Every structure is written in C-alpha cells, then in structure tokens.
Amino acid sequence: MKSATNYSGFRQKHNYGHWLWGIAIPLTLTAIDWPFREILTASNILMFYLLGVFFVAIRLGFWPSVLASLTSAGAFAFFFAPPIFSFAIADQENLVGLAVMLVVGVVTSKLAENVRSQARVAEQREQRVSALYRLSKELAEARLETEIIAIGIRHIHAEFGCRNTLLFPDGNGKLCYPVNPSPGISLQEVDLSMARRVFDLGKTPEDPGALASEDKLFIALNGSTETIGVLVLEPVDFQQMFLPEQQQLIDTFINQIVHALVRARLAEQAKDATLKIQAEALRNSLLSSISHDLRTPLATIVGAASTLEADGERLNEHRRRKLVVAINEEAQRMSDLMTKILEMARLESGQVVLNRQWYAPEEIVGSALRRLDKKLKKRQVNLHIADGLGLVLLDAALLQQVLVNLLDNADKYSPAGQPVDVSIATTARGLSIAIADNGPGIPEGMQQKIFDKFFRIQAESAQSGVGLGLAICRAIVEAHGGEIQASNRSEGGAVFQLYLPLLECPPTIAPEEKELTP
C-alpha cells in the first residue's frame, strides 16, 4: 500500500537553460554597447541592461532575472564604469545608478513573476473549465449507461493521463468491469477486494493510504442516496494526484459522471414504468374489448345450438337453416376477431417480411371488393380510377387487408343506401388510395387517435370490433414506407387516405404480339 508520505522527498526540477540565458543576455548587451561606449552615457547603458532584465523576467522567471541583474551590474562595473576593466567604481553617480538598477530589476522581476504565475493559474483554470465543458456536453448527449461509462473513462484519461476504469455491481452485488472496454485506456487488472471495501464504505477515507493498492487509487462513486460504483485510477504521479487542485478537479469529474449515470438509470426506470403501464392498459383494453365482442356472438351461438338440440325435430327446415346461418355468422365474427389480434401481434413483433411484387393498383382494389362482395352487395360503391396508373411495388396480400378493413369500416358506419367512394390516383406523394363514406364522421381531435390499438370512439356501440382494424392498417402502410390519415368530408362522412411511395420505376408491359395470318 502506498500513501502520500512516500513522496515527501519530491523536488521541483528547474530548467537550467533559463539560468544560462540570465547570463547570456547581459553579456550580449555588453557586446552591443561596447562599440558605443564613447557616445552613450552611463544612464543610457544602465537602461539597456534594465531592458534585458525585464525581458528575462517576463520570459524566463524571477530567479533568472535576479541572476541577469547581478550579471548586468558586474558587466557595467567592469566594462563601462571608470576605471574600466575593474570592478571598482570611482564615480559615486555610477554607483547610485547601479544600485537603483539592481533594486528596480529585482522589483520588476518579482512583479513579472507574479503576472506569470497568475497567467499560469488562469490558463490552468481555463483548461479545466474547457475539460469540464467537453465532459458535460458529451454526458448530456449520452442516453445509455454504457455510453456514459465510456465517455467518463475517456475524459479522465485525457485530462489526468492515467488509465482508469469504472466498476459497478451486477444483479448479485459483484463488482464488474464495463462492457467493451477501450483498449489502452481502461484498466482490466484491479484488486476487486479493495474496490469492494471502498464500495462498502460508501465514502472516501481521509487516509490516502487506505485508498491505494498496487499503484492504483480507488474512489467511491456516491449518488444522492447510495454508492453506485467505484472509480479506479492508475496515476502516473501520486503526489500530483493529491494536490488540492487535482483533487477538486477529479471530484468534479466524478460528480458529473455520477449525475449522468443516475439520470440514465432514472430515465430507464421511468421507461420501464411507462412500458408496464402501457402493457397493463393494453391488457385491460384487450380483455375489455374481447369480452365485449365475444359476449354477443357466444350468446347467439349458445342460444341457437341449444334450440337446435332441444327443439330440432319440431322445427321446420327454414327455422333450422336460419339458426345454422346465425351460428355460422357469429362463429365467423369470432374468427375475424382472433385473426385481427394475431395479425396485430405479428406486425408488432417485427416478423413480417414484405413480399413485394409489381401489381396494378386497380387489381388490388378489385380483389378487396370481391372479398367483401356479400357485405357490399346492397351498397353502391363508386370507383374512381385515374388514367395512366402504372405498376406499384407492394405486398398484395397485406395491402388487400388494409383495403378490406377500410371498406368494412365504411360499410359499418354508413347509413343503409348511402354509397362508398373509392379513388385511386398518382400524386407527388406517391400512389394515393382514398375510401370515403357518408357516415357521422370522426369527432374533432380524434383523427390520429383512431389509429391506436383498441381505441374505439364509442366503447359500447351497436358495431362490433375491438379497435384493431385501423391499427393494422397503419402498421401495414408504414411497413411499406407510406402513411395513412383520416379526415372529415365537407359534405359529411369520413375519408381515409393512404399514400404509398413509388420506390422504383415500374417495368414496362410489352403488348402481346398479334398472330399474323398468311
């Protein structure tokens, strides 16, 4: 185990090149001033030396500038102050000027050193603020816990230059490494027993030695209510990591990462809770819809079957036939109900693979009308087909089911004797198919809501259904990359319009060759 006391002998290294410059600059100024010694006065020469001291103080620091001041004083006394080539100074005025230069040089060097120190502190603060900004920006954009962990490890390595890892407990409480660690950055060989000890303590012990093991530093990640994990660092220099500024910076990094992790976990919990609520609501809607729509056909089937069993021999052929037809119709209703539920489940599972082929749109509409021939035989259907329609790449069976559902809805909600209008055209948005009825229309604000699963405008109504037909239509149309929408007609009734994209250029159909007669 290591502690901070192992580094009490740490010494700051000095750049000896700065000391050499503190000597070289005054000597260079001496060489420059020497040819002009007869022209320049002593005060002028001292000003040149003072400029050199200023330069050294600003560029190289305090102590090199002090050395430059002493070197300048010696050079002035030896080369310029009478008698020359002697360190003795005969003129009292030169002696005073030299003393003033030394004092001014030392004072200004100290001031320059303070400015340099403040500039360094400001630069370090700017770098830390920039590092924290980059970290917080990436953490704010991350949504998954794995993304936050990877971002935290990468930024800690970039700022502190040490490999690190984040350990979190699994379902059994065992601390585990992150998934897909970054090579060269993330630690993989960690004393998990020490990490467990720090995790159980839930806070950072004041004794640094209790945090270090095998050149690694362990820090607990404390959330607002509990400890959520452990940060393990492999510092290059323990002494630097225990500096107050570094400790404050690493604490800020940890707080940012912990807050992001807590946010991600709370978001995940909220998502799970929402999914549970939605699942419960769907389950209740399904049970309510099924119980409502199965009650009537089951009652009809049971009543008709009981009548046939008890009074079958006394009933004439017409009555028996009528009961058999009722049983068949209600059984078909139940079959359609279960088919819609299974179809919706299949669409939502993502297991539907579109069997796209080239078809003429009018053929798909015609097939849907033939499937509903019995239901629509007493209703007029107005078919409007634009000229020049080409082939469309689609799944014919699924699109036919969409049209069957929409036509069935139009028949249910249109008064007897009122027509249903079907229009097919090519628009800028793709192939457009519109089915309009003359019913009561859709209440305002429910044009999108009616496409939700198990939604019915009137929960109890004379019309059968569980509210899945339109949901199935939307799922199939969106699987084709299209869209479906509902609106009200100005003259009354509702219109359902779907758009299918024209993904590719349709193939051309060559005309059949006519047989030539000899």
CA nearest 378: which of 417, 326, 435?
417
| pLDDT above 70 (res 212) | no
233-271 confidence digits (pLDDT tens)? 888 777 777 778 888 888 889 899 999 998 988 888 888
Q: What residue has token string 């998934």?
A: 179
| pLDDT classification of 498: cutoffs 50, 70, 90 | very high
468-481 confidence digits (pLDDT tens)? 778 888 888 888 88
Among 2-6, 328-332, 451-455, 490-494, which stretch is predicted with the lowest mean pLDDT? 2-6
Please give the CATH topology (third level) of the domain spanning 357-500: Heat Shock Protein 90 (3.30.565)
List beta partners, residue 123: none
| pLDDT above 70 (res 483) | yes
| pLDDT classification of 178: cutoffs 50, 70, 90 | confident
CB of 178 within 8 A of CB of 146? yes
What is the pLDDT, as a whole number, of residue 1?
32
Among 141-150, 309-318, 462-471, 492-501, which stretch is predicted with the lowest mean pLDDT? 462-471
What is the pLDDT, as a whole number, of residue 210?
43
Mean pLDDT for the stretch of residues 45-52? 80
The token duo for 106 is 């030392």
| pLDDT classification of 347: cutoffs 50, 70, 90 | low
Q: Side-chain half-sphere of 339: how many Cα atoms within 13 Å?
A: 9
Instruction: Name the phi and psi angles at 420, rounded to 5.
Output: -120, 130
For residue 514, CA distances in Å to 73, 508, 511, 518 come to 118, 18, 9, 13
| pLDDT above 70 (res 141) | yes
The DSSP letter of residue 338 is H
**Fold: same for 144-351 and 357-500:** no
Q: Which CATH architecture has domain 144-351?
A: 2-Layer Sandwich (3.30)
For residue 310, CA distances in Å to 303, 313, 314, 317, 324 come to 11, 8, 9, 15, 14
| pLDDT above 70 (res 100) | yes
**E strands within 223-302?**
227-234
Claim: this prediction has a pTM higher than 0.85: no
Mean pLDDT for the stretch of residues 135-150? 88
Instruction: Name the phi and psi angles at 216, rounded to 5.
Output: -125, 150
What is the pLDDT, as a whole number, of residue 206?
47
What is the pLDDT, as a whole number, of residue 348?
62
What is the pLDDT, as a whole number, of residue 496?
92
CB of 369 within 8 A of CB of 381? yes
| pLDDT above 60 (res 12) | no
For residue 55, CA distances in Å to 51, 65, 72, 118 come to 6, 8, 13, 18
Mean pLDDT for the stretch of residues 188-203? 82
CB of 233 within 8 A of CB of 164? yes
Q: How far out from the chain centre does Cα 376 lie? A: 51
Measured CA to CA, the distance from residue 158 to residue 153 in angstroms comes to 9
Domain boundaries, the chain: 2-136, 144-351, 357-500
Mean pLDDT for the stretch of residues 379-399? 86
CB of 66 within 8 A of CB of 109? yes
- The residue that leads in pLDDT, 8 or 208, is 208
| pLDDT above 60 (res 208) | no
364-381 confidence digits (pLDDT tens)? 888 888 888 888 888 888
Question: Exposure string (b/e) for 71-94, b if CB count within 10 Å is 16 or more?
Answer: bbbebbbebbbeeeeeeebeeeeb
Measured CA to CA, the distance from residue 331 to residue 325 in angstroms comes to 10
- The residue that leads in pLDDT, 305 or 513, is 305
| pLDDT above 80 (res 7) | no
| pLDDT above 70 (res 340) | no
Among 17-21, 182-186, 280-284, which stretch is predicted with the lowest mean pLDDT? 280-284
| pLDDT above 60 (res 204) | no
For residue 497, CA distances in Å to 294, 365, 518 come to 30, 14, 53
Classify strands 381-385 and 420-427 as parallel, antiparallel or unpaired: parallel
| pLDDT above 60 (res 414) | yes
3-state class percentages of the chain: helix first, strand second, coil last, to nearest 5: 55, 15, 30
What is the pLDDT, as a whole number, of residue 276?
81
| pLDDT above 50 (res 9) | no
**E strands within 313-380?**
357-359
Measured CA to CA, the distance from residue 54 to residue 62 in angstroms comes to 10
pLDDT, mean over the chain: 78
The token duo for 330 is 């209600």
Mean pLDDT for the stretch of residues 417-436? 89
Mean pLDDT for the stretch of residues 452-472? 65
